[in-house]
Amino acid sequence: TGNYAPHVKEDLATSPNWVPVPNLQFNMSVIAKVNVLPIATITTNVNDVVGAFVGTECRGIAYPTSPDGFLFLSPGSNVASGETITFKYYSAQDDKIYTVNETIPFQNMGEVGTLTSPYLFNAATPVELLSFTATQSAGDYVQLNWATATETNNKGFDVERKSGNQWSTIGFVPGN
């Protein structure tokens, strides 16, 4: 038997350990919701998290605060304006980190989104799988074939084999 697992830019087995940089001089406010594309579902899981980043530095995190998925995020900076903030979304249900397509320029005391018109983060599903087949060949060989509709930030696929109750990685196929 074979199994595959898509890789996003960050490999993880549990929720991310994003720790915001402490004691930043300036901050701004973002009120937002998350769409996971192409499914377009709004997050409502209290274990989901959105992280705000400048480069690889975490500048703020937020969890949904209500059943309708509102996020109240306060990214910080030591520069009053001009830094580009990128975002990542962790889905606890999927145990995956998704890339958020939107970026915003940091502006001290800036406000993005409101309760009546929240900013919308569009998180891209890393891999849309169209088909997957496993066919036993001569001996113990199994041929795996799959097709994807899209691959966003996909490093590739681990190919795994199950023996008893244990899975082990036996190969890697780069993403497209």
Mean pLDDT (the chain, rounded): 82
**Contact 8/164 with Cβ under 8 angstroms?**
no
Q: Which two tokens stand for residue 71?
A: 């996020």
Burial of 72 (0-12, 13-18, 19+ CB in 10 A): middle
Q: Which two tokens stand for residue 58?
A: 């975490």
- 89, pLDDT greater than 80: yes
Cis ω on the peptide bond leading into residue 22 (within 30° of 0)? Answer: no
- pLDDT tens-digit profile of 26-42? 999 999 988 776 655 55
Closest by CA to 2, choosing from 176, 165, 137, 170, is 170
171 strand-pairing partners: 159
32 strand-pairing partners: 71, 119
Query: How far is 101 from 171, CA to CA, in rounded Å?
Result: 30
Q: Which two tokens stand for residue 75?
A: 């990214």
Higher-pLDDT residue of 83 and 13 is 83
**Contact 165/16 with Cβ under 8 angstroms?**
no
- 2, pLDDT greater than 50: no
pTM: 0.64
Give me the mean pLDDT over the 37-63 stretch.
Answer: 81
Burial of 172 (0-12, 13-18, 19+ CB in 10 A): exposed
